[in-house]
Amino acid sequence: MKLDMNNAWLEGVRHHPSAHYDERPKAVEIELLVIHAISLPPGQFGGPFIEQLFTHRLNKNEHPYFADIADLRVSAHLLIRRLGEITQYVSFQQRAWHAGVSSFAERSRCNDFSIGIELEGCDDVPYTDEQYQQLARVINILQQAWPILTHDRIVGHCDIAPGRKTDPGLAFDWGRL
């Protein structure tokens, strides 16, 4: 796996482009990495539903929970599945729609200056060895491209949207990362 700096897509991972992105504001650099957790339906792993959500193809009739989220326009740059498979949805050069109302170091609108990585998981279920391994590999590649992404600039969604978000949750072992 390596980063193609011409288009800011990882090589050696699955690509499934999302339409849920836009351009970063002019002169705004990537300065933050946000770790998220997602499972659809909540607490269930596998299946096509996360990808369908990120690509606006989620059928609201497939599960009762989907009725409330099927029309959301959300995405992340990457998803790391339970077995370590990585899918990229948005170029790192573009702004994915992952953080929502958020702030870091007194700056709002974290989507403007961050990369969002979703782990297939939930707050109270331990993440897998494969996910930690792949996340570490990805972080190493991103830090080579953007050295500002130091340890103190790798945060959870809960850190930039406290009171609103709890992911990646207590089951995420920051020390292990």
Residues 6+ apart with CB under 8 A from 20: 54, 55, 56, 73, 74, 75, 89, 90, 96, 97
Phi, psi for 149 (deg, rounded to 5): -75, 65
Q: Are 86 and 14 in contact (CB under 8 A)?
A: yes
Verify whether residue 29 is a known catalytic residue. Answer: no
What single string gives the DSSP state of each residue in 134-147?
HHHHHHHHHHHH-T
Q: Report the alpha-carbon distance of residue 22 to residue 24 in Å, rounded.
A: 7
> Any idea what the Cα angle at residue 117 is, between residues 111 and 118, rounded to 5°?
115
Strand partners, 155: 34
Q: Are 125 and 43 in contact (CB under 8 A)?
A: yes
Q: Helix, strand, or coil here: 67? A: helix
- Out of 51, 62, 118, 120, pick the active-site residue: 118
**What residues are annotated to the active site?**
118
